[in-house]
Amino acid sequence: MKTIIEPFKIKSVEPIFITTVEERVQIIKDAFYNPFLIPAEKVLIDLLTDSGTSAMSSSQWAGMMIGDESYAGSPSFFRFENTVKDLTNMPFIIPTHQGRAAEKILFSVLGAKGKMVVSNTLFDTTRANVEASGAIGVDLLCPEGKLPNVPSDFKGNLDIEAFKSLIDKNGADNIAICILTVTNNSGGGQPVSMQNIIDVKNICKLNGISFFLDACRFAENCYFIKLREKKYADSSVEQIAKEMFSYADGCTMSAKKDAFANMGGFLALHNEDLSNKCKNLLILTEGFTTYGGLSGRDLEAIAIGLKEVLQEDYLKYRINSIEYLTNKLIKENIPVMQPAGGHAVYLDAKQFLSHIPIEQFPGQVLVTALFIEGGIRAVEIGSLMFGKYDSMNQLIPAQMELVRLAIPRRVYTQSHIDYVAEVIIEVYKKRDALKGLVITSEQPVLRHFTAKLAPVS
């Protein structure tokens, strides 16, 4: 088989500033061992997130010039609205400045206080918005999804039996909504099968529970369905996406992911009453209903990006490039989430740094080491991000200790990825010398963004 090439060529480039190991030791210290606090110009390969970091296409940039900045009724809004309507077949489309704004609005108006919000895995901002509304987030990930190094086709699936027993135990009235994250970002970018979506939908319908999608990576998820779910092998990704959305009562979306936009998001809904409540809050916090928190040019970029992401040459390259890096690491016996996810490579820090206790954040230690060794910026998805404290102030650890290397869309070439593999392999060889970290300062919500850490003494 021939090399799968990047299905684009480069028109405009951005410089990468090279630093030395000595400089990076100081940079990470100055950033309190938290990659979110490192100035971006001091990063060589930035794999912190695939959110808002995509390279836009020449068509999207052209669309930016066509963007109409009218306060009300901009033609850019209608192009955006039509595209989202066509994709989701939902009648009420509400633009927001990013995904979490859609979440904030949805969970504020749902009135789910004291009730449960069920998911395969709630993403960090989603969980925070659920909890801020007074609701209780419940993750019911399938058992195979919790085993990083055991490959399986749909490790993002929701555990159907667990969902049924949760309903039996608590009563459907106490479950406000079920929201499936496609692909499951916090659980390794693993896809959810169409069968699972249908099963979840049916349980929700039977019990009068609303069924939503967190659709940030819908196209990547649908491409996996095409590859792995026999029934869909001959369907186009667009057809698969339309079927997937047809099962949902609504969705939240961050356009910073699969819409290749640098900013943006939306809520799409079937229910008019809910939509009206959301629009009222939108006007209060985001902006008028035909722009949300966005410029007209952003709406154009999203509308164009939502079409581009369904191009299968792109998705083939995208999924293969993640697999390429994952396979290089597997070859070196490096503990990595298997199979490869849709947007990122996830290292299993619990195994990678098995000598570091969970209370000393092995994931964060690995993030720090990758930065020092090669200037790569990754993010911990483990007990720093999701850990809580019990009444004795002891850490309740997260389910997994992962380090996510998120690959921005259409940004890095194969040689960048080869370099990333070399750096990880080098850190793996030196892993025994790495030492733990402790938190020296933290905030009560989403602490990983701003926490300060220091090496254990």
Q: Name the one range near ligand PLP by CB under 6 A: 19-27, 95-103, 235-243, 277-285.
A: 95-103
Kindly give the pairing relationship between strand 437-441 and strand 452-455.
Answer: antiparallel
Closer to ligand PLP by CB, 344 or 372: give it. Answer: 344
Per CB under 6 A, the list member of 107, 123, 260, 324 interacting with ligand PLP is 123
Q: Which of 13, 42, 22 is nearest to 376 (CA)?
A: 42
Q: Name the one range near ligand PLP by CB under 6 A: 123-131, 167-175, 228-236, 317-325.
A: 123-131
Per CB under 6 A, the list member of 42, 79, 100, 155 interacting with ligand PLP is 100
User: Which backbone phi and psi does 46 adopt, to 5 degrees?
Assistant: -100, 100
Residue least distant from ligand PLP (Cβ): 99
Q: Which of 281, 274, 123, 142 is nearest to 210 (CA)?
A: 274
Within residues 256-285, the interface with ligand PLP by CB under 6 A covers 256-257, 265
Q: Name the one range near ligand PLP by CB under 6 A: 97-105, 187-195, 356-364, 430-438.
A: 97-105
Which residue is it, tokens 């419940």?
Answer: 138
Q: Give the shortest CB-262-to-ligand PLP separation in angstroms.
A: 11
Site size toward ligand PLP, by CB under 6 A? 15
Burial code (b: 16+ CB inside 10 Å, e: under 16) for 134-153 equals ebbbbbbbbebbbebeeeeb
157 interacts with ligand PLP by CB under 6 A? no
Q: Name the one range near ligand PLP by CB under 6 A: 94-102, 231-239, 373-381, 411-419.
A: 94-102
C-alpha–C-alpha distance, residues 299 and 264, integer Å? 8
Closer to ligand PLP by CB, 145 or 265: give it. Answer: 265
Q: Give the shortest CB-123-to-ligand PLP separation in angstroms.
A: 4
Q: Name the one range near ligand PLP by CB under 6 A: 96-104, 105-113, 306-314, 323-331.
A: 96-104
Closer to ligand PLP by CB, 217 or 328: give it. Answer: 217
Q: Give the shortest CB-223-to-ligand PLP separation in angstroms.
A: 16
Q: Do residues 368 and 433 make contact, with C-beta atoms less than 8 angstroms apart?
A: no
Contacts of 198 (CB under 8 A, 6+ apart): 247
Q: Give the shortest CB-391-to-ligand PLP separation in angstroms.
A: 30
Per CB under 6 A, the list member of 76, 88, 98, 196 interacting with ligand PLP is 98
Per CB under 6 A, the list member of 60, 74, 76, 126 interacting with ligand PLP is 126
410 interacts with ligand PLP by CB under 6 A? no
Within residues 164-223, the interface with ligand PLP by CB under 6 A covers 181, 185, 214, 216
Neighbours of 91 (CB within 10 A): 13
Burial code (b: 16+ CB inside 10 Å, e: under 16) for 271-286 equals eeebbebbbebbeeeb
Q: Give the shortest CB-121-to-ligand PLP separation in angstroms.
A: 9
Closer to ligand PLP by CB, 51 or 88: give it. Answer: 51
Q: Give the shortest CB-98-to-ligand PLP separation in angstroms.
A: 3
SS3 5: coil
Q: Name the one range near ligand PLP by CB under 6 A: 40-48, 253-261, 303-311, 386-394.
A: 253-261
SS3 403: strand
Closer to ligand PLP by CB, 120 or 360: give it. Answer: 120
Q: Do residues 313 and 162 make contact, with C-beta atoms less than 8 angstroms apart?
A: no
Annotate each residue in 344-383 with x if it binds ligand PLP (CB under 6 A) or - if it does not, as one string. ----------------------------------------
133 exposure class (CB count in 10 Å sphere: 0-12, 13-18, 19+): buried
Closer to ligand PLP by CB, 180 or 356: give it. Answer: 180
Closer to ligand PLP by CB, 176 or 369: give it. Answer: 176
CA 434 to each of CA 47, 353, 395, 427: distance values in angstroms, whole numbers, following the listed order: 21, 8, 21, 9
Burial code (b: 16+ CB inside 10 Å, e: under 16) for 443-454 equals eeeebbeebebe
* Structure tokens given for 195: 């069968």
Residue type, 40: A
Q: Give the shortest CB-380-to-ligand PLP separation in angstroms.
A: 15
Q: Which of 385, 386, 401, 398 is nearest to 349 (CA)?
A: 401
51 interacts with ligand PLP by CB under 6 A? yes
C-alpha–C-alpha distance, residues 244 and 309, integer Å? 16
Q: Name the one range near ligand PLP by CB under 6 A: 16-24, 69-77, 119-127, 431-439.
A: 119-127
Phi/psi class of residue 348: alpha, beta or left (left: φ > 0; alpha: ψ in -120 to 50)? beta
* Structure tokens given for 64: 């930016």
Q: Which residues bind ligand PLP (CB under 6 A)?
A: 51, 98-100, 123, 125-126, 181, 185, 214, 216, 254, 256-257, 265
